Amino acid sequence: MSDATAVARPSLGIFERGLSLWVALAILFGIALGNIAPGVMTAISALEVAHVNLPVAILIWAMIFPMMVNVDFSSLRHVGERPKGLVVTMVINWLVKPFTMAALGVLFLEGIFGSLIPPDVAQSYIAGMILLGVAPCTAMVFVWSELTRGDATYTLVQVALNDLIMIFAFAPIAAFLLGANNIHVPWNTLLFSVLLYVVTPLAAGAHCRRRLLNRGGAVKVARFTAQAKPYTIAGLLLTVVLLFAFQGERIIAEPYHILLIAIPLVVQSYGIFAIAYVWAWGWRIPYPVAAPCALIGTSNFFELAVAVAISLFGLHSGAALATVVGVLVEVPVMLSLVTLANRTRPLFDRRSG
């Protein structure tokens, strides 16, 4: 096993498996805090520089940076070894998923649930869904690949290539889809968000990774990311607490909105997985590549979506709320898809044989 492969073999620990429970508890605590200490929340929300809330930015960097240390751009030399799997995930991530997410948001929140949600609120939720759809997964990719016994080298290539594309594609696609839904976004704020939450942590992560490799190889990188994991989870949960504290009064008044947001997100996840997985099966892609490529296309980089939603629309926005609901549904949905993939592996093995 190469050093690169060794780094891409994390496990799903108790915190990751119980992430939806921890998020649910953080939501309840945040709602309670927002109603008990509204003055404190107002003071925290005022700590902004250039539309960036400083406490939230620090917490999100705590989430994002350790993930970026795992990105191995040297793996791109293997980009031609599994071309079919890369085609599936790139097409799904950038040509299918953002547009189906926007379409489902409109269908459910403005159509099916239109009588339950005011139009301006529905539009804000759709904005959050769009940001989730344009933010393909980076960190949890390694976990889904491991749980399906996927090709570790392919996973590294996928993540590195995906992150490079994200630098150039995230802002234009997000701006196009938001604009198509009559949601105005300031380009300077959007580009600044990409610089702050994608380009800078990627560059810093690559620099840190290089230094760790020089000092102790892949083992040093793995040790660093393992030690940083508690801070990553703490950053996520504290961000959730803050977001729901800022929106505590609205949620108390309309708690069913969380369910209404979750429904199209769940439909999107299962639908995208089905498209990618069936395509991979029909194209005779081997299971160790097919399973991760379908799961990679389904999962979201929700940390980035949360950060950009806050920068563009504010801590009190429905868009920020929608991205956090994405965190709530992500892990149970993805674990169910991992189970489905593992149980259907014989279909791929017989076809390839």
If one compares 344 and 215, the residue with the highest pLDDT of the two is: 344
d(CA 75, CA 212): 17
CATH at residue 180: 1.20.1530.20
Average pLDDT, the chain: 84
Q: Which domain holds residue 107?
A: 3-352
Q: Are 191 and 329 in contact (CB under 8 A)?
A: no
The domain total for the chain is: 1
Q: Average pLDDT in the 2-29 region?
A: 62
Q: Which residues contact 344 (CB under 8 A, 6 or more apart)?
A: 277
Task: Tell the residue number behind the tokens 């429905």, with chain if given.
Answer: 318
Using a pLDDT cut of 70, give the percent of the chain over it.
92
DSSP 174-190: HHHHHHHTT----HHHH
pLDDT tens digits, 193-207: 888 888 888 888 888
The listed range with the strongest mean pLDDT (44-48, 164-168, 210-214, 260-264) is 260-264
pLDDT-based confidence at residue 246 (cuts at 50, 70, 90): confident
